[in-house]
Amino acid sequence: MSEMKFILLISFALFFIGVYGFLTRRNMITMLMAVELMLNAVNINFIVFNKFLYAEKMDGLFFTIFIITIAAAEAAVAIAIIINLYRKFNSINENEIDTLKW
């Protein structure tokens, strides 16, 4: 049980590092990486709960596989959009992408 607590501590820390990174960084690629950190924290959570608490069914494991797949799809679309942005603004810094305000 203490093992599980230890891993959960890591996953919670990872998640909030991701949140912090998303909110403070202004480079869009870095923001995307912060989101991936958050998703990985979720993956760890699912696996840990599945292994230590509900080992008889594999719900958490399957959820993790789907999250990994969808995160890949999401990253693909996000990077395509960011490349499109870079072509138009010559920058991927959120502070310089500012034609839309208030």
Partner 1 sequence: MSLLNYISMMRFEALALGVVIMLLLVKVFSEKMNASVVLGFVNLSLVALLGISFVGHPHGTAFGGMFRIDSTLMLEKQIITLALLLISLQANSWLKKHSSYLEFYVLILSVIIGMYFMISSGNFLMFYLGLEMATIPLASLAAFDFDRIKSAEGAGKMILSSAFSSAILLFGLSILYGTTGSLDFNRVAENFSLTSHLELLALAFLLAGFAFKISVVPFHLWTADTYEGSPIAVTSFLSVVSKGAALFIFMTALYQVFGAAHEKWMNALVLLSALTMTIGNLFAMRQSNIKRFLAFSSISQAGYLLIGVITGSSLGMASVFYFMIIYIFSNIGAFTVVSVVSENTGKENIDDYKGLYKTNPMLSLALMVFLFSLAGIPPTAGFFGKLFLMTSGASAGLIALLIIASLNMVISLYYYLRIVKAMFVDKNESPLEDFAKDNYSKFVLIFCVIVILTLGFCNYIFGYLQSLSFGL
Applying CB under 8 A, the residues found at the interface with partner 1 are 15, 18, 22, 28, 31-32, 35, 38-39, 41-42, 45-46, 48-49, 53-54, 59-60, 62-63, 66-67, 70, 73-74, 77-78, 80-82, 84-85, 88-89, 97, 99-100, 102
Closer of 6 and 62 to partner 1 (Cβ): 62
Q: What is the DSSP letter of 100?
A: -
Distances 79 to 3, 6, 27, 29, 94 between C-alpha atoms, Å: 37, 34, 12, 8, 14
As given in the structure block, the two tokens for residue 53 are 């608490």
As given in the structure block, the two tokens for residue 4 are 């599980």
Shortest distance, position 6 Cβ to partner 1, whole Å: 15
